[in-house]
Structure 1
Amino acid sequence: MTAATVGSLNHSVTNTESMDIVISPNVFYTFAELLIAFLSSVGNIFVCIAVMKNRRLRTVTNYFLVSLAIADICVGAIAIPCAIMTDVGIPRFNIYLCLLMLSVLIMLTQSSIFSLLAVALERYISIFFPFQYQTIMTPKNAIIIIVITWILAFLIGLVPLMGWHKAAPSSGYCFFVFVVDMTYMVYFNFFGCVLIPLIMMFLIYAQIFIAVRNQIHRMAASNIKSKAQEKQADRIKKEMKTATSLFLVLFLFAVCWIPLHIINCFILLCPECSVPLPLLLTAIILSHANSAVNPILYAYKMKAFRRTFKAIFLCLSNVVEFFLICSQNTLNIEN
């Protein structure tokens, strides 16, 4: 799952277990990871600020998106630095600290999946149980669900640290495939905790799109055009637009993460198969890049987010301009 896979496969040919091997960082990989870390942290901080500042964005759906944004901020601020360190085998001779660092991205990825699943279920209730929605999906219930998803993600990510891991390599290097058991990554994490929720979400969105399409067709076939029907038609179109945007978030998550999980399957099920290093690097960078794309998608697809982002940028530019003017005036006074 992390950059440690690169190092472990790159040096597994002959002398990976050697005590005196020198591991050099991959410059391109490190630069790409640092860029993604910056974009992910800044972009998702903007998402959190936007929801906090704009009352129109304080919806149950967006509470779950904030949970997703927090996970992505942690990917940029915590998980990617850990991945860069484990790419060169750091920390050495500390199996438990190594496992903890390698488990961070698993926790955050699982939290993202649960947040996306919560969003899908919330949209399902909104479409199929509109009259019960206000009772079921209250802000309080949303917060409770978010707390539960983070606890579950934390426990799933800590499974390797609890004992489901390989023995520490004699070299002491913290490489992913030498420390984390691939049976955990493939059978438990991928098949059980990633693939099943993804399939459930795709089925949920398929039902949503079919139901909304049928409603639109029924209303189009009706000859009676009352104000109530027009209002309902506007609501359905809005629901369809929201569901489409959120489905794109899910689709991009699957596109970014599935390749790396498939590579993990090859590592476990076909140990003699050779995984090209450029392909592996691309899969790792792609998985981490998912944390940076959501704010861009919100800005592009959701008008309320786009307007709020523009207001935040304008505010920041005014603050920067103010400080520049103050500093210039200070220099003039001193001169």
Structure 2
Amino acid sequence: MASDDDLRYREWLIYCITTPLSSAIILANLFIIVAIVCNRQLHNTPNYFFLSLLVADLCTGIALPFIPRMALEQHLDWHACLLVHIFPNFLFLSYLFNLVMVHYERYLCIANPLHYSQFWVHRCFPVALLTTWVPPLLYASLPAFGWNEWHRDDDVNSTSNSTTTGDTDDGDTCSYKRVFPTAYIYLEVYGLLLPSIFLIVGMTGRVLCITRKQLRDICKLHRAVERDQASDGEHRLNVRYAKCVAVVSLIFVLCWVPYITFVNVTLRWMKGDGTSQNYTLHVILSCTGIGSMAIIPFVLGLANRQYTEPACKVLRKLRDCWRGVQGHTDM
């Protein structure tokens, strides 16, 4: 167990890092959620999937301060310990599943635009939406159904206490090691998290390849009309595609790489001592890794002018009012 000073330092470190990140994630998601809800033209299946992603991301922002605390040893009973570990894990998994579903839906729309309405994602929207919430809830709840180390540790502690004269009882010590077995963590990382990330990256790469092929076809038509001379429209298309590739690459570097680094460092941290020597690094990586991945929906939302138009109108009105006030004061 860490000393009281170490625990206070860890709590302070978590609070300083997670509070601004969590606030920014919550406000950014509320900004786009309000824009979708208030615009009836956006009430369709693709935007419902995106709205579900925003809600999951909002919940992830709320749960962000509790995720680094999983590595702390706290004095909690069995039910409270399950709650503080299972609930944040469920919210994060649901966010990841929603992110995969949004990319999958958009991939189907681009890869098969003529048959999009025939796919199960569009025809069975409630079922598709449930697949983003129910499986994460079931998997996150497995420790509550017996796949944990809590009772095994209690048996070991009771046996050791019965053979010694000490009075120490660690039965109420709550930590992730007692809730999540090693096999459970490895299954989540290598069976759910990393495959989901690679699936998103693969679908995004496939969409870029399809876009590139369509761009080449358009350029051929332009050159046929312009007699092998590159037109301004062709140049603008190439520039927009280059910007798209640059944005996708930047998102991967800034959002996915920190999280993948956090996952691998965490696994090594679990294999090692896992004490306070590496705890500061673990907190920083967990907050920045999850926080950077949580800004992906906001970036996707900013790319759609329909989501940002209501806020832009309000800002323009405020700007005009401010200019009017400044004009009256100058007179």
TM-score bracket for this pair, using the shorter chain length: 0.7 to 0.9
Contact persistence 2:57–2:294 (CA under 8 A): yes
**Aligned to 2:117, which of 120, 123, 134?**
134
Q: CA deviation at 1:189?
A: 0.4
State the AA in 1 paired with 2:103.
A
- Determine the structure 2 residue equivalent to 1:119: 102
Mapped partners of 1:295, 1:312: distance in 2: 22
Contact persistence 1:75–1:108 (CA under 8 A): yes
Instruction: Spell out the pairing of 1:148-227 with structure 2 (5 A cutoff).
Output: 148-167=131-150, 170=170, 172-186=172-186, 188-222=187-221, 223-224=223-224
- Determine the structure 1 residue equivalent to 2:157: none
Deviations 1:173-209 (A, max 9, x none): 32223432232112x1010011112222222222221
- Determine the structure 2 residue equivalent to 1:324: none
- Determine the structure 2 residue equivalent to 1:98: 81
What SS does structure 1 have at the residue aligned with 2:124? helix
Q: CA deviation at 1:300?
A: 4.5
- Determine the structure 2 residue equivalent to 1:326: none
Contact persistence 1:122–1:137 (CA under 8 A): no
Contact persistence 2:110–2:207 (CA under 8 A): yes
Mapped partners of 1:239, 1:129: distance in 2: 20
Query: Kindly tell me: are residues 288 and 207 of structure 1, through their superposed partners in 2, closer, same or farther at Cα, counting changes over 3 Å?
Result: closer
Mapped partners of 2:279, 2:69: distance in 1: 18
Contact persistence 2:57–2:297 (CA under 8 A): no
> Any unmatched runs of 5+ in structure 1?
1-7, 227-232, 322-335
- Determine the structure 2 residue equivalent to 1:4: none
State the TM-score, normalized to the length of structure 2: 0.72
Q: CA deviation at 1:167?
A: 2.3
Higher Rg of the two aligned structures: 2
State the TM-score, normalized to the length of structure 1: 0.72
Instruction: Spell out the pairing of 1:1-335 with structure 2 (5 A cutoff).
Output: 11=2, 23-24=7-8, 25-77=10-62, 79-83=63-67, 89-90=73-74, 92-136=75-119, 141-167=124-150, 170=170, 172-186=172-186, 188-222=187-221, 223-224=223-224, 253-268=255-270, 270-271=271-272, 276-290=278-292, 293-294=295-296, 296-298=298-300, 300-311=302-313
Q: CA deviation at 1:280?
A: 0.8
Mapped partners of 2:130, 2:244: distance in 1: 24
Sequence identity, in percent? Answer: 18
What SS does structure 2 have at the residue aligned with 1:132? helix
Contact persistence 2:53–2:102 (CA under 8 A): no
When the two structures are aligned, how many residues end up with a matched partner? 293
Query: Kindly tell me: are residues 99 and 40 of structure 1, through their superposed partners in 2, closer, same or farther at Cα, counting changes over 3 Å?
Result: same
